[in-house]
Homo-oligomer: A and B are copies of this chain.
Amino acid sequence: MASKESDFLRELYQSWSERMAANPNMTIDDMRDVFDEWERPTKEPEGVTYKSDCVAGVNAIWALPLDADAKKVLIYTHGGGFVVGSSSSHRKLAGHVAKALNATCLVLNYRLAPEAPFPAQLDDVIAVYKKMLEKGFLPENITMMGDSAGGNLAISSVLNFRDKGLSLPSSVIVFSPWLDMELTGSTLDENDATDALVKRSVLEAMAGMFLGENGSATNPLANPLYADFTNFPPLYINAGSEETLLDDARRVHSVANKAGVNSMLSVVDNMQHVFPFLAGRAVEADEEINKIAVWYRGLAS
């Protein structure tokens, strides 16, 4: 049974769905403001300081847990269908994960669609990654991390780094990744009644804005379910059982496994999309983040 505290996220999503249904012509600016409410479920992680920065032209927030290992960094690409979400909406979530992993975290405000369609997001992330290597961060101390569309971007960026011949990060962690731009996952319909936010119509609209005129729904860098995962670093994937995107998590786990990747899938019962947003509030999120920390530490040993 889900904790009472976890209702907060479901109710937040329900309120967004109702507001979007009541205002079908909602502007992109208004929708971005609604999704910035994503910060609400997350309690402030204690003992974390922050710093505004601009890395390779990309605005970002550093989350700096006190006493974190400054050599280790998580590069976090936020969710929001490549259209909404921000470093502000994800600051606290990133802070919780960084603290648990005893690492620093750079939360990127990469360019969003429709103003900047595919591959602008990949271009921003690889520019940041190269700049981090220039600054002296070692690939083995870098983890790519993201949720939802940002989980796609974390994975596709590593594929992009590999294809460009760069040394790869040590690991990739994704929450509720949205990968399938063709929207063929079985849970899109099976979990339509339980997922309070992510509906086929929303995904269709966002995929259209993301892919724009030049993107393809089957390009492995837009849809990593089509990718070759050879030599991909260890991958941690989670999802909630109530999600329409659950099947994306399962399928990328399967694809990665078949390619010999060290892949871990964690599906948590009765949880909504990107339930780690409940960090500090609901036990399910805190336990999941602890589980990720154990996995992360295990990679080094």
How far is the CB of A15 from the nearest CB of chain B, in Å? 8
Whole-angstrom CA separation of A48 from B39 in the bound complex: 18
Please tell me which one of the listed residues B27, B40, B50, B62 contacts residue A48 in the complex, with CB atoms under 8 A apart. Answer: B50
How far is the CB of A194 from the nearest CB of chain B, in Å? 24
**CB-based nearest B residue for A48:** B49
**CB-based nearest B residue for A47:** B49
A34 at the interface (CB under 8 A from B): yes
B51 touches A46 (CB 8 A): yes
Q: Is the interface on chain A under 10, 10 to 19, 20 to 34, or 35 or more residues?
A: 20 to 34
Whole-angstrom CA separation of A51 from B66 in the bound complex: 14
How far is the CB of A280 from the nearest CB of chain B, in Å? 7
Whole-angstrom CA separation of A37 from B37 in the bound complex: 11
A37 to chain B: which residues have CB within 8 Å?
A: 33, 36
How far is the CB of A145 from the nearest CB of chain B, in Å? 19
Whole-angstrom CA separation of A43 from B91 in the bound complex: 13
A192 at the interface (CB under 8 A from B): no
Chain A 21-58 interface residues, beta-carbon cutoff 8 Å to B: 23, 27, 29-30, 33-34, 36-37, 39-40, 43-52
A257 at the interface (CB under 8 A from B): no
Majority secondary structure of chain A interface residues (helix, strand, loop or mixed)? mixed
Whole-angstrom CA separation of A169 from B74 in the bound complex: 43
Whole-angstrom CA separation of A46 from B36 in the bound complex: 22
A251 at the interface (CB under 8 A from B): no
Whole-angstrom CA separation of A33 from B30 in the bound complex: 8
Please tell me which one of the listed residues B23, B43, B52 contacts residue A43 in the complex, with CB atoms under 8 A apart. Answer: B52
A174 at the interface (CB under 8 A from B): no
How far is the CB of A106 from the nearest CB of chain B, in Å? 12
B44 touches A52 (CB 8 A): yes
A280 to chain B: which residues have CB within 8 Å?
A: 52
**CB-based nearest B residue for A15:** B29
B46 touches A46 (CB 8 A): no
A61 at the interface (CB under 8 A from B): yes
B52 touches A49 (CB 8 A): no
**CB-based nearest B residue for A27:** B19
A15 to chain B: which residues have CB within 8 Å?
A: 29
How far is the CB of A39 from the nearest CB of chain B, in Å? 6
Please tell me which one of the listed residues B30, B49, B51 contacts residue A49 in the complex, with CB atoms under 8 A apart. Answer: B49
**CB-based nearest B residue for A34:** B33
How far is the CB of A275 from the nearest CB of chain B, in Å? 18
A88 at the interface (CB under 8 A from B): yes
What are 8 of the A-B contact pairs (CB < 8 Å)? A30-B33, A33-B33, A33-B37, A39-B88, A40-B88, A44-B50, A49-B49, A52-B280
